[in-house]
Chains A and B, each alone.
Chain A
Amino acid sequence: MGEKQQPLDLLQGTLDMLVLTTLARGRMHGYAIAESIHQRSDDVLRVEEGALYPALHRLELRGLLAAEWGLSDNNRRAKYYRLTPAGRRYLESEHAAWNRMVTAIARVMETA
């Protein structure tokens, strides 16, 4: 793929999860997804906004998202993403795995 690896694969997986979860609530364009993540995480999660787009394109390539062009609120041309059925199924399975991992980490952190 690209010449440079993302420094943390974990980060990439996390970002994918966030994107998929956000889109579970409906179709959005890239900016809206970024805003949504910012708001819901209370600005804790600071990822370069631009890093979102490779993630979106990768997910689209894998068939977990579908995209189409439309007009935004202020009549500008924007690309809207939505979850595909495959994406929905993937989200469900990963969500369960994700929860398990988070719980385990929390438990480890508590006992330390």
Chain B
Amino acid sequence: MLQERISAFWLRVKTLVRRRELDRDLDDELQFHLAMREQKLREQGIAAEEAPYAARRQFGNVTQLKETSRELWGFHWLETFGQDLRYGLRQLKRNPGFTAVAVLTLTLGIGGNTAMFSVIDAVLLRPLPYRDSHQLVRIFSSSSLISAGPVSAWEFSEIKHQTNVFQDLALHSEWSAKLTGPGDPAWAYRDEISPDVFRLLNVRPILGRTFLPEEAQQGRNHVALISESVWKSRFSGDPNVLGRGVDLDNTAYTIVGVLPSSFKMPEAFAFGQKWPTVWVPFRTIVEGSSKYREHRCQVIGRLSGGVDLAQAQSQLHAVAQRLAQAFPKKNKDLDLRVARLEEEVGSGARPALLLLFGAVGFVLLIACVNIANLVLARGAGRVREIAIRESVGASRLRVIRQLLIESLLLSLLGGLLGLVGALVGIRGLLAIAPQDIPRLGEVHIDLGVITFAFALSTIVGLIFGGLPAISLSKVDLNTALKEGGATSQSGVGSIRRRRARSLLVVAEVALATVLLVGAGLLIRSFWKLTTVDPGFPTENLLVLGVTPTAAKFNDDRQIVEFFNNALARIRMLPGVREVCVTMVPPIRGGGGFFLNPGTIEGQPSGSSSEPIIMDFRAVSPGYFHTVGQRLMVGRDFDDRDNAGAPSVIIINEAFARRYLSNQNPLGKHIRAEWIDKSPPGEIVGVVSDVRDVYLNLAPQPGMFVPYMQFPQVNYVVVHTAGPPLKLATAVRDQIWSVDRNHPILDIMTVEENISNSVAAPRFRVVLLGAFAGLALVLALVGIYGVVSYGVAQRTHEFGVRMALGASQYDVLRQVVGQGLVMAMSGAVLGLAASFALSRVLTNMLYEVHPTDPTTFVSAAILLTCVSLVACYIPARRATKVDPMVALRYE
């Protein structure tokens, strides 16, 4: 049996190649037979003219036999497929207008979806570039104060000993450090890692080696691994870089290896990486040392095969509880949590990306509806062609298949062009995307994206081609073949088709409405966000980041001196109105610290002693003036408030309202407790509230201390007379003229800060707005198309009505009325759907409720106007019908 199959297969393949020859052979064979039979009949006495016919009669249907044999020989389905393909192409070429519109619509729809998918693929779907990255997890501590914080060495040791779900665990601790050595001072990440990390993440150096276990000890740990980018940029790719030195925070390290630039620590994927990394060994913390119970480590782990996250989590809960019982004071409400790295990375961006993906999917659906309508309209004109084909023997399935192939040709062509368009679209997306979306740099078109585009094109083609194909192929042969049945104007089929087209329009208007409402909500929210008054003038403020590290200066006094010097010099520059230093500049997230309200003098005794986080800054005198915060009562800091003087504090109005209402805040003392120092302070002034943390965050209680008493300042803020960035170089040079050894980073203006802080909402608004606009245009085109086609169909009917006395206005009203009914039904449906769906946006809206009536009403009004226009234009054409002309023709 198999042998037969194989030989049959080969014969068929040969047939494909030698088609013509085989056809000729077949012909010859049958002709030979006929000739012989003819001769025989003549010998038997039949007349010479009669013989050929007699022979043929005896033979049977030659054509059919040839067909049967041909089908036997070749790959039948392949050949008919080829036929359908060629026919479809011809049809498309014959209707260039239709083809162009359809392909363009599809390009936009499929291209948009492909571009969004490629972003989602890179950010959410693609596994991280580690071996079996789905097994990698991060373990962190969680308490009522900090929801995701570091772990202590002690907890790490307990986890290692008390759980069995991890096949590997490693520690690392990353902090910023000043990188000197060859090249300009710059910032880098100094990452202390335990040697397990290399095994865990499966990373191998491109040069040199990784850390040895003994290098975790004090004294042996001044070795370092640098990244490939540092090797290339600061050591010029020196092949003898091993053994050379690099300085971090003025400590010397010897380079023992270079890690490839493709390697990144997991946090770098989630939070981006501004600076290069230098890795040093993690110094083993022994039990009993002061750091043993400090929360300062990040933990990465790999789950054992077959273990799921819930198991690991429950074991960690158990460990945390045991620790809490053993050390109730420190660990009382501390929990240990675990999360998969892959999920963590994308979790922030996921809601917005999925929302946008859904929106662009809606746009594609609307495009499909439009094209389906177009296909139906065109199809009505092909009824006769289809009837002929079915009457000579084509099965309905064959007809459907051929129509589907036409649709697929369109959709695949649209998909191909859309893929090309997506290349451009991706670049545009990346340009406006907020920088905090992780892994944006990995967005590119790969095999997965191409597969998606191909699959989407196929599905789309089947959708918008399939339903019309099924409807069209069901042809009543009788009526279709008669005269005047060329375009089926009457008959059950056409009424069904008309209803189908109307329903499709209702559906697409509903979809467009949903998008409009969504975009409207986001636009209102964005408007409110960007027009919120920050409470201080935001123009002309230049910010430079300068962080002197304590390692360079022996004591605080030197830091203060450095800054005082720098400020004095900057003040003398032309174009500088005012300059100051601060711990955190405006609109940069604020500096927080824990304050126990019980430490505020004048608090009722028995108030809760739970620490709360509040805004906290160290600033120089003149900060408030520079930034535009008003002094309400009391005084600003001045040069008297230096290191030896009594500690002073300035609070803001929110603080005063919250804790010292009905009291005079001036003169009250706060016994602040924080990590390193705890100077109590006397309140000497109150400043106005400003929104200088985040625009959408109402002003929180905050306090300020003079930087001379608390010299942890990182930023110089300059109030310039003219455009801030013009002075950047001059200011920087002034700072360097005091001491060259400070990396200066993050030069920007407060206005830029504000703009960056709303980058994410802006991204959403721009995209959703574009999608909604596109959807509206498509819906408009759809309404126009259906109404216009209806008018063309019913020209005769309008002619009759007008001849019978109807006015132009009556006809207009009829057409527009019917069109509006369609559109309004869709709008109502869409508004109802929006009502249900808009809660998805709740987290993205600022001071706008998901069922905000203004937005809903505006969307409805917009749609009504647009639909009116779309109906009116073809309706006008209906009124121009000359009754006499219309009556004459069917």
**Given A62-B4, A63-B8, A78-B29, CB of A57 within 8 Å of CB of B73:** yes
Residues of A within 8 A of B65 (CB): 50-51, 53-54
B59 within 8 A of A: yes
Instruction: From B12, B58, B69, give the contact of A49 (CB < 8 A).
Output: B58
Q: Is the CB of B36 within 8 A of A31?
A: yes
Residues of B within 8 A of A112 (CB): none
Instruction: From A3, A49, A77, give the contact of B393 (CB < 8 A).
Output: A3
CA distance A30 to B30 in the complex (A): 9
SS class, residues of chain B in contact with chain A: helix
Q: Which of A1-26 contact B (CB under 8 A)?
A: 1-3
CA distance A78 to B61 in the complex (A): 20
> B360 → chain A, closest Cβ, in Å?
44
Residues of B within 8 A of A63 (CB): 3-4, 7-8
> A16 → chain B, closest Cβ, in Å?
13
A101 within 8 A of B: no
Residues of A within 8 A of B58 (CB): 48-49
CA distance A22 to B286 in the complex (A): 99
> A23 → chain B, closest Cβ, in Å?
16
Residues of A within 8 A of B33 (CB): 30-31, 34, 49, 53
A100 within 8 A of B: no
Q: Which of B48-83 contact A (CB under 8 A)?
A: 58-62, 65, 67-69, 71-73, 76
Q: Is the CB of A50 within 8 A of B11?
A: no
A44 within 8 A of B: no
> B115 → chain A, closest Cβ, in Å?
45
B28 within 8 A of A: yes
A39 within 8 A of B: no
B32 within 8 A of A: yes
Q: Is the CB of A50 within 8 A of B59?
A: yes
Q: Is the CB of A1 within 8 A of B8?
A: no
Q: Which of B1-32 contact A (CB under 8 A)?
A: 3-4, 7-8, 11-12, 25, 28-30, 32
CA distance A73 to B68 in the complex (A): 29
B212 within 8 A of A: no
B395 within 8 A of A: yes
Instruction: From B4, B59, B71, give the contact of A1 (CB < 8 A).
Output: B71
Residues of A within 8 A of B59 (CB): 48-50
Residues of B within 8 A of A51 (CB): 60, 65
Q: Is the CB of A61 within 8 A of B60?
A: no
B37 within 8 A of A: yes
> A57 → chain B, closest Cβ, in Å?
5
Q: Is the CB of B3 within 8 A of A50?
A: no
A104 within 8 A of B: no
Instruction: From B28, B32, B61, B76, give the contact of A50 (CB < 8 A).
Output: B61
Residues of B within 8 A of A2 (CB): 67-68, 71-72
Chain B interface, number of residues (Cβ within 8 angstroms): 30
> A60 → chain B, closest Cβ, in Å?
8
Residues of B within 8 A of A60 (CB): 11
**Given A48-B60, A49-B59, CB of A77 within 8 Å of CB of B72:** no
Q: Is the CB of A50 within 8 A of B8?
A: no
> A4 → chain B, closest Cβ, in Å?
8
Chain A interface, number of residues (Cβ within 8 angstroms): 27
Q: Is the CB of B37 within 8 A of A1?
A: no
**Given A31-B37, A49-B37, CB of A77 within 8 Å of CB of B68:** no
Per-residue CB contact flags for chain A residues 34-49 toward chain B (1 = under 8 Å, else 0) read 1000000000000011
**Given A78-B29, A78-B32, CB of A50 within 8 Å of CB of B72:** no
Per-residue CB contact flags for chain B residues 694-726 toward chain A (1 = under 8 Å, else 0) read 000000000000000000000000000000000
Residue of B nearest to A49 (CB): B59
> B151 → chain A, closest Cβ, in Å?
71
CA distance A102 to B458 in the complex (A): 55
Residues of B within 8 A of A54 (CB): 65, 68-69, 72
B35 within 8 A of A: yes
A79 within 8 A of B: yes
A107 within 8 A of B: no
Residue of B nearest to A47 (CB): B60
Residues of B within 8 A of A77 (CB): 28, 32
Residues of A within 8 A of B7 (CB): 62-63
Residue of A nearest to B29 (CB): A79
> B327 → chain A, closest Cβ, in Å?
82
Most chain A CB within 10 A, of B37, B68, B69, B72, is at B68
CA distance A62 to B1 in the complex (A): 9
CA distance A1 to B3 in the complex (A): 20
Residues of A within 8 A of B60 (CB): 48-51
Residues of B within 8 A of A29 (CB): 32
CA distance A29 to B25 in the complex (A): 13
Residues of B within 8 A of A53 (CB): 29-30, 33, 65, 69
Per-residue CB contact flags for chain A residues 52-78 toward chain B (1 = under 8 Å, else 0) read 011001101111100001001000111
> B637 → chain A, closest Cβ, in Å?
96
> B27 → chain A, closest Cβ, in Å?
11
Residue of B nearest to A84 (CB): B7
CA distance A29 to B29 in the complex (A): 9
CA distance A77 to B760 in the complex (A): 81
> A15 → chain B, closest Cβ, in Å?
13
Residue of A nearest to B395 (CB): A3
CA distance A32 to B204 in the complex (A): 80
> B71 → chain A, closest Cβ, in Å?
5
Instruction: From A69, A76, A86, give the contact of B4 (CB < 8 A).
Output: A86
Residues of A within 8 A of B37 (CB): 31, 49
Knowing that A48-B60, A53-B69, A60-B11 are A-B contacts, what are 8 other residue pairs whose CB atoms are under 8 Å apart, sorted by A's residue number? A2-B71, A30-B32, A50-B60, A53-B33, A61-B8, A62-B7, A78-B32, A79-B28
Contacts A/B (CB < 8 Å), 14 sampled: A3-B395, A31-B32, A50-B62, A51-B65, A53-B30, A54-B65, A57-B69, A61-B72, A61-B73, A63-B3, A63-B8, A69-B25, A77-B32, A78-B32
